[in-house]
Amino acid sequence: MAEDADVIVVGGGLAGLVAATEIADAGKRVIVVDQEGEQSLGGQAFWSFGGLFLVDSPEQRRLGIKDSYDLALQDWMGSAGFDRDEDLWPRRCAEAYVAFAAGEKRGWLRAMGHRIFPVVGWAERGGYDAMSHGNSVPRFHVTWGTGPGIVEPFERRAREAQRAGRLTFKFRHRVDALVTTHGTVDGVSGVVLEPDKIERGRSSSRRVIGDFTLRAQAVVVASGGIGGNHDLVRQNWPKRLGSAPANMISGVPEHVDGRMIGITEAAGARLINRDRMWHYVEGIRNWAPIWPRHGIRILPGPSSMWFDATRRRLPSPLFPGSDTLGQLQYIMSTGHDYSWFVLTQSIIKKEFALSGSEQNPDLTGKSWMMTAKRATNKGAPAPVEAFKAHGVDFIVRDNLADLVGSMNALVDNDLLKTEDIKAQIEARDREIENAYAKDTQVLNIHNARRYIGDRLIRTAKPHRILDPAHGPLIAVKLNILTRKTLGGFETDLDSRVFGQDGKIMPGLYAAGEAAGFGGGGMHGYRSLEGTFLGGCLFSGRNAGRAAAKAVS
Ligand SMILES: Cc1cc2nc3c(=O)[nH]c(=O)nc-3n(C[C@H](O)[C@H](O)[C@H](O)COP(=O)(O)OP(=O)(O)OC[C@H]3O[C@@H](n4cnc5c(N)ncnc54)[C@H](O)[C@@H]3O)c2cc1C
């Protein structure tokens, strides 16, 4: 049968765009198929904060951070906790990815016009020992322009290839099956969905108006994860975390539906580590939702006090920003699926960032003037103040009794007692007067402030939570927010997919979240953050280059 292209890429998210542009730039013909309309090009990456894990970058060095491949690999392995036979390729991909992040990654992006905000963030700080989870040093490099800024170079390359006739987009084409001929994956088939001009990120029509089959010599599956499909999240929920939360909100649009994972598995691909996922515990319900159950993740600084639903402070080292999986495990062990931050206006102003391009108009719009206000403004950034005013999970009060009463009212129970919360806050407040302390969260705050980036824009000056001069008091109900799929299709370093018989499936490649960002789960159990977009760049580039080489 005649081929429609040399390679078909399923998915026009970041991983698909990277793979497709590499294929086209190698002189091959490529078709990018996506179930969404043209307005959604870039997938989740468009909505992202654009945070990238880089190692020993000029930005780090300028801030006095001493980083290295060895330190980053130590952190990665301590976080991943690889412990399964099927971790062979994930581990190999992790080693290669850390080398990419310490080597070519920044220069490759920079040559395409990508730029980085100069203050490096410190995500997932851990708090255990040197060989355990967490970033020993700040490594979260925010793209100047956030999500759209990381999509832009690849969309530009794709449009150039489109104009040159080497790349074709097929929007509103939903793949329902992979086509295999004599053991080689050589096409896709599915349905054409009716055109829909709905705004990016909103759920689009699923009305079918036709069907299609496309043939090529190879297929790259870059269809994303399962975070928008709560049924699949529940089905894959790991037993080690108890039962799945009764209530979850969505950190991704509905098109992150996981359908293509089942379709690719049905064609014989080996899906591994499906029980490894990366969901956040600091989710807030969006007061202006775009997609169903739309939630936003707070990227917290270290100072908010964190209470579980039963009024206990989360144990050390589960402070804001330390260990996402540890926090999820702890919260699920309480028998409730929410927890609380209690903080002050001084803390929210400096420490709350919201993950997502639309929540950061200063960085997304590349406005130095607006961004500088993060350090100088009296209030929090406007999107945070808007959540404070309109968000259903935010409570703002002048005194603790009113605050606690409203917290109980919000969740319709009386689990929190004012006297009890007051005693815990006062005890913590007594620790704040000295530059040293025994309370480990307070120690952690002092440690954070030794890093200039945190002192400038991420960690409030230590103060008493009950000091009215820093008020009003704020409580935030934190929900569990679905986001990333850490497992995926087992691949080698060329993103070639292994079949269920353990052999490479000729013609089939997988990249991005569908491939567990490389190998079938290069993060293992935990991420150091900024590693998902990077995993799409890495596995997408490998898939594109290898597929282009393999086709005649
Ligand atoms: C709000 C937000 C903030 C984030 N912040 C960061 C960050 O700061 N740093 C970081 O590293 N990561 C971040 N991430 C995660 C990161 O953006 C994603 O993991 C990554 O973009 C996934 O890219 P992908 O190409 O694998 O999949 P996707 O972006 O999901 O793209 C997959 C595409 O495939 C299409 N598709 C699926 N099934 C089919 C089918 N059957 N037929 C046809 N088309 C199909 C979909 O429509 C979609 O366009 C964030 C994510 C979100 C949502």
Q: Of the candidates 149, 102, 81, which has an alpha carbon nearest to the alpha carbon of residue 538?
A: 102
CA 18 to ligand 1 center in whole angstroms: 12
For range 59-67, the mean pLDDT: 98
CA–CA gap between residue 237 and residue 427 (Å, rounded): 37
Q: At residue 246, what are phi and psi to the nearest 5 degrees?
A: -70, -40
Spatial contact of 356 and 383, defined as CB atoms under 8 Å apart: no
Classify the phi-psi angles of 499: left when phi > 0, otherwise alpha if psi is within -120 to 50, otherwise beta.
beta
CA 101 to ligand 1 center in whole angstroms: 20
Nearest CA to ligand 1 atom 31: 13
Q: Residue 476: what residue type? A: V
The atom of ligand 1 lying closest to the CA of 531 is 11
pLDDT at residue 377 tops 80: no
Nearest CA to ligand 1 atom 21: 45
| Residues forming a β-bridge with 57 | none
The atom of ligand 1 lying closest to the CA of 146 is 8
pLDDT at position 299 is: 95
CA 150 to ligand 1 center in whole angstroms: 12
CB crowding 64-86: b at 16 or more within 10 Å, else e: ebebeeebbbbbbbbbbbbeeeb
Residue 144's pLDDT band (cuts 50, 70, 90): very high
The 3-state DSSP class for residue 295 equals strand
| Residues forming a β-bridge with 210 | 192
Q: Is the dihedral of CA 433, 436, 440, 446 positive or negative?
A: positive
pLDDT at residue 477 tops 90: yes
CA–CA gap between residue 134 and residue 318 (Å, rounded): 12
CA 72 to ligand 1 center in whole angstroms: 25
Q: What tokens were used for 381? A: 């950034």
CA 173 to ligand 1 center in whole angstroms: 17
Residue 252's pLDDT band (cuts 50, 70, 90): very high
CA 497 to ligand 1 center in whole angstroms: 19
CA 44 to ligand 1 center in whole angstroms: 4
CA 303 to ligand 1 center in whole angstroms: 31
C-alpha distance across the termini of the chain, in Å: 16
The 3-state DSSP class for residue 339 equals strand
Residue 1's pLDDT band (cuts 50, 70, 90): low
CA 14 to ligand 1 center in whole angstroms: 7
Residue 234 burial (CB count, 10 A)? 14
Of 139-153, 219-233, 291-305, 375-389, minimum mean pLDDT range: 375-389
pLDDT at position 487 is: 98
The pLDDT tens digits for 433-465 are: 999 999 999 999 999 999 999 999 999 999 999
The atom of ligand 1 lying closest to the CA of 225 is 30
Residue 2's pLDDT band (cuts 50, 70, 90): confident
Nearest CA to ligand 1 atom 38: 223
Ligand 1 binding pocket (C-beta < 6 A) is: 10-16, 33-36, 40, 43-45, 47-51, 174-175, 222-224, 251-252, 255-256, 259-260, 355-356, 484, 512-513, 530-534, 536
CA 506 to ligand 1 center in whole angstroms: 25
Upper half-sphere CA count for residue 353 (Cβ side, 13 Å) = 27
CA 251 to ligand 1 center in whole angstroms: 11
CA–CA gap between residue 485 and residue 274 (Å, rounded): 8
Beta strands in 182-238 (DSSP E): 184-193, 208-215, 218-221
- For the chain, percent of residues with pLDDT exceeding 90: 96
Nearest CA to ligand 1 atom 33: 11
CA 299 to ligand 1 center in whole angstroms: 19
- When the pLDDT of each residue in the chain is averaged and rounded to a whole number, the result is 97
Indicate whether this model's pTM tops 0.95.
yes
CA 536 to ligand 1 center in whole angstroms: 9
The pLDDT tens digits for 342-365 are: 999 999 999 999 999 999 998 999
Spatial contact of 441 and 428, defined as CB atoms under 8 Å apart: yes
The pLDDT tens digits for 487-514 are: 999 999 999 999 999 999 999 999 999 9
Nearest CA to ligand 1 atom 49: 43
Probe ligand 1: pick from 223, 265, 523, max atoms within 8 Å of CB?
223
Distances (CA, A) of 314 to 86, 317, 340: 33, 8, 10
The atom of ligand 1 lying closest to the CA of 540 is 25
CA–CA gap between residue 120 and residue 136 (Å, rounded): 13
Higher pLDDT, 361 or 160: 160
Residue 468 burial (CB count, 10 A)? 11
The pLDDT tens digits for 312-321 are: 999 999 999 9
CA–CA gap between residue 101 and residue 76 (Å, rounded): 12
Probe ligand 1: pick from 10, 48, 294, 360, max atoms within 8 Å of CB?
48
CA–CA gap between residue 446 and residue 461 (Å, rounded): 9
Probe ligand 1: pick from 44, 116, 290, max atoms within 8 Å of CB?
44
Nearest CA to ligand 1 atom 13: 48
Q: Of the candidates 204, 298, 207, which has an alpha carbon nearest to the alpha carbon of residue 251?
A: 298
Probe ligand 1: pick from 141, 533, 537, 542, max atoms within 8 Å of CB?
533
The atom of ligand 1 lying closest to the CA of 260 is 41
pLDDT at position 233 is: 97
Residue 136 burial (CB count, 10 A)? 18
For range 106-125, the mean pLDDT: 97
Q: Of the candidates 302, 279, 298, which has an alpha carbon nearest to the alpha carbon of residue 125?
A: 302
The atom of ligand 1 lying closest to the CA of 40 is 49
Sequence-distant (6+) residues with CB within 8 A of 88 are none
Distances (CA, A) of 51 to 67, 240, 478, 535: 17, 29, 22, 12
Cis bond before residue 472 (omega within 30° of 0): yes
Residue whose structure tokens are 């319900």: 285
pLDDT at position 378 is: 74
CA 226 to ligand 1 center in whole angstroms: 10
